[in-house]
A and B are shown apart, each in its own frame.
Chain A
Amino acid sequence: MTAAFEQLREVAEHAWGSLTRGDTPVITVGTATCGRSAGALDTLDVLRGELAGREIECRFVEVGCLGPCYAEPLVTVSLPGAPTVCFASVNIRAARKIAAYVAGEDLPEELAFATIGPESVPGIPELMDTPVMKGQVRRVLRNCGIVDPGDIHHSLARGSYSGLQRALELDTEARIGELERSGLRGRGGAGFPVWRKWQFCIDAPGDTKYIVCNADEGDPGAFMNRSLLEGDPHAMLEGMIIAGLTIGASEGFIYCRAEYPLALERLAVAIGQAEDVGFLGPDALGPGRPFRIKVKEGAGAFVCGEETALIASIEGHRGMPRPRPPFPAVSGLWGRPTVINNVETLASVALIFQHGADWYAEYGTEKSKGTKTFALVGHVARPGLVEVPLGTTLRELIFDIGGGVSSGHRFKAVQTGGPSGGCLPEEKLDIPVDYESLQEAGTIMGSGGVVVMDERTCMVDFARFFLDFAADESCGKCGPCRLGTRQLLRILEDITQGAGTESDLELLEGLCHNVIEGSLCGLGQTAPNPVLTTLRYFRDEYVAHVESRTCPALACRDFIAFEIDDENCTGCAACAALCPVDGISGEKKQLHAINAAVCIKCGVCSDTCTFGAVATVDAHP
């Protein structure tokens, strides 16, 4: 480790120490996109205002997301000499109570979610002992929600860039060896061994090479990369510099979606700070060995997550894929050898060089090493961003960490891998989450989206949703994808609208295989997966739609109606007040009725009724 780095580390540790062991109260507020949408900026304003009003000097730090989105906004308070306490769901009223606590009043225990660190408070669990955190191993996400993403010193003090220092001392062979021993596979979806991809690029002839970070997190229902870039951008930058160093690149590009304005903002700040301290710039990789990173903003095209389409987009073209080979590692950006790695992959690279390959491979299965982040969403009690060792079962992920299905309904299916993945039923919940097991079950690991569905979700409609997405996002270059996804969508629309026939199921299956075999890139090759897996595991639902014209989940609007039963209705009018189309009428304390002519079948009335008086019924009994 160089003297300059040691010096920088000292400064960073001092800055971090003054925050964690100082004599001024420190308040952190999670202001990532998820926190903001739950009102974190209002919470922050109230805390600032209240404490300024009481003339109490505090340090406010805006941090990223700790993970439990359901408990946003999250606030932590560290008073000198007291344990750090994390508060959940801090609305404006709660913020006032917390301000009072900072001012010297008793700890509002009812708002406390957990304590953080070794000191505890009786009755309040430590963060890693809370049900949502217990099964997790937070490595990639270790700084998210803890450090200020706008201050490189925080990340430095917690170990960032020590991996880069180590990598600088090794030669190329040793670096690749380290990566190979770690067993790291690409976290973007396909799971290709990272060391091999890098080796291809090293072996490719040419002096100019590029490293590209794929931050075009296009899978709907996934936000792992967003969270990491908003909460700890240096985690990825360090890995990217190591990659540049190893493959011999002096320039790197981050391709990030325009839909993530805050991630782009924080990334720009982080790059600026890395330049200021010399991790990027003319001598980044040693005297006279430059490395620079540029950010390219995506413009809204899912297909640009595909490597060759992404390259076309950076070059200023329509984001259309081209046949491989040649693979980008041989001929990529402007025809030069290019490595493209996903955000989480690069963050994992940094960890491997910080702690060593053996440490990294401690967790995981034989073929899938390390930990993986997942966006756990849908009908789950505790949605959020989680990180678990590979090999954890879906059941542990959904029920132990996620708290099971929300709102008391029964579990029906889980979808992994986004539009390229598939839906698994309850009997598949005990399979371990690793690349091979998921593939065997018909789905894929993907980038980490895990969508939980309860019994109210129609699986035919769910497949239709993904095909709608795929047909919309197909770039149009090859026929099988452009025409095939559209035809699949039409058939699924027919089925969900009551115009399907029994022969449609066979047609669907055949067409799925044609699209898979004929398509040019991953988008078309995987777009039929949601259809094939739902046909495989939930075929009876398809059959019900085409044979008896019923939707077993009572979800497809053309098959259902809502009715109020006279025995249970108390005439409380709660449903009438919430009906978005004013379609429920009745006198107070009298039986209410639904006007079928205006009813949009949104189900708000049945969700609202506490007396169980609104029933969803089959429209064609």
Chain B
Amino acid sequence: MTTTNLDPVLSAFERRPESLIPLLQAVQENLGYLPPDAMGTVARHARVPRSRVFGVASFYSQFRFNPVGRQRVAVCRGTACHVGGAKFILEQLERTLGILEGETTGDMEYSLETVACIGCCGLAPCITVNDEVSAKLTPMKVRKQFKKARK
């Protein structure tokens, strides 16, 4: 990714250190993840050292340093989901998609991650697929939902 591609994204933000997190969010929204050279561009725009950009990006769980699949599957790890059996949902997804938490399928179709509580606790356990919530899940429902997609 070259610098010119990001200019329209970056220009919406003031060139100040406190723009750093919104800048990283905008870049990730645009590219799907944070490649090293994009972080360099952000560093120049926010007028901070690259080390600080990496320090901040690696601190927050929202930021990713690798490309993600077209479908981002995230298992909620909130308390209500835990009590409702979220670990079985995660394990089922790992089996069905053939990847572990934090990984992406070889065809770049699916990524599997966990997310801190999404606040849908009344309908636990739940997952999100590209920010759309599926609720009241069981391992079998998950298997059916994704088995079709994998074939």
Give me the interface of A with B, judged by CB distance under 8 Å.
33-34, 36-38, 69-70, 72, 217-223, 226-227, 258-261, 296-302, 313-320, 375, 377-379, 383-385, 415, 418, 449, 451, 453, 457, 462, 465-466, 469, 475, 578-581, 600, 602-604
Contact = CB atoms under 8 A, between A and B. Distances in A.
A297 B118 CA distance: 15
B50 to A, nearest CB: 14
Interface stretch (B2-10, B65-73, B78-86, B104-112): B78-86
B31 interface: no
Contact of A221 (B19, B46, B78): B78
A319 B79 contact: no
B125 to A, nearest CB: 11
Contacts of B142: 580
B133 A299 contact: no
Contact of B117 (A221, A301, A316, A604): A221
Contact of A313 (B21, B80, B143): B21
A378 B133 contact: no
Contacts of B136: 38
A604 B140 contact: yes
Contact of B88 (A223, A302, A319, A600): A600
A375 B81 CA distance: 13
Contact of A449 (B17, B79, B120, B135): B79
A603 B88 CA distance: 10
Given A297-B22, A313-B21, A581-B95, A222 B59 contact: no
B9 to A, nearest CB: 15
A36 B133 contact: yes
Interface residue tally of chain B, by bracket?
35 or more
A261 B88 CA distance: 26
Nearest to A468: B77
B119 A217 contact: yes
A316 to B, nearest CB: 4
A221 B17 contact: no
Given A37-B126, A300-B61, 10 more contacts: A220-B116, A221-B80, A223-B117, A227-B119, A299-B25, A318-B55, A385-B122, A578-B140, A580-B142, A602-B139
A485 B16 CA distance: 36
Given A221-B79, A221-B80, A384 B18 contact: no
Given A259-B115, A415-B79, A604-B140, A222 B122 contact: no
B124 interface: yes
A220 B79 contact: yes
Contacts of A226: 119
Nearest to A225: B119
B91 interface: yes
Given A33-B119, A72-B123, A385-B122, A580 B140 contact: yes
Interface of B: 16-22, 24-25, 46, 48, 55-56, 59-63, 77-85, 88, 91-92, 95, 115-124, 126, 131-136, 138-140, 142-143
A259 B118 contact: yes
Contact of A37 (B63, B88, B120): B120
Contacts of B59: 301, 318-320, 475
A551 B56 CA distance: 42
Given A33-B120, A33-B133, A260-B119, A465 B62 contact: no
A451 B81 CA distance: 10
A580 B88 contact: yes
A126 to B, nearest CB: 22
Centre residue among B63, B95, B140 by max chain A CB count within 10 A:
B140
A418 B33 CA distance: 31
A485 to B, nearest CB: 16
B59 to A, nearest CB: 4
A320 B17 CA distance: 16
B49 to A, nearest CB: 13
A498 B122 CA distance: 33
A222 B123 contact: no
Nearest to B76: A220
Contact of A384 (B62, B122, B143): B122
Contacts of B134: 37
Contacts of B124: 377-378, 383
Contacts of B24: 299
A34 B143 contact: no
Contacts of B20: 316
A300 B56 CA distance: 12
B104 to A, nearest CB: 19
Contacts of A462: 82-83
Contact of B139 (A33, A465, A604): A604
